[in-house]
Amino acid sequence: MPGKRTIRVRRVYDPPAAADGVRVLVDRLWPRGLSKERAAVDEWPKELTPSTELRKWYHEDTTRFAAFQERYEAELAGPEQAGAVDRLLELARDRTVTLVTAVKDVDHSHVPTIVALLERGRTGR
């Protein structure tokens, strides 16, 4: 029987902690000014990040957050993206997975959409 799934979110600039478990970078670009050693990232699935077009569309008007989440979740249902979500679900089956990001306003970023998808435990397929 699988253990309890634990998904955490932290900024990649914060020092790694033993409780982080598997650290997964969920940003398309490498965090500015951060060495790979200091980031201590175990996985970097770029296919989990919003498309460039969607990201630019959202940054033009951040009041479109709800629409951004809907569009992003639709992107995550694509074959490559769903495979990456499945990989995270596998990693999180019986251990902690910490999603790390460089964004300053995590609550209004792509990260809550990933977390919600993982908590539901399905890829939308």
pLDDT tens digits, 75-94: 999 999 999 999 999 999 88
- Rounded CA-CA distance 102/25 in Å is 9
- Residue identified by tokens 């200091």 is 38
The pLDDT of residue 120: 87
Average pLDDT over residues 48-52: 95
Average pLDDT over residues 15-41: 95
pLDDT tens digits, 10-26: 999 999 999 999 999 99
Helix (H, G, I), strand (E, B) or coil at 17: coil
* 98 φ/ψ sector (left φ>0, alpha ψ -120 to 50, else beta): beta
* 100 φ/ψ sector (left φ>0, alpha ψ -120 to 50, else beta): beta
Domain ranges of the chain: 6-120
Whether the predicted pLDDT of 1 surpasses 50: no
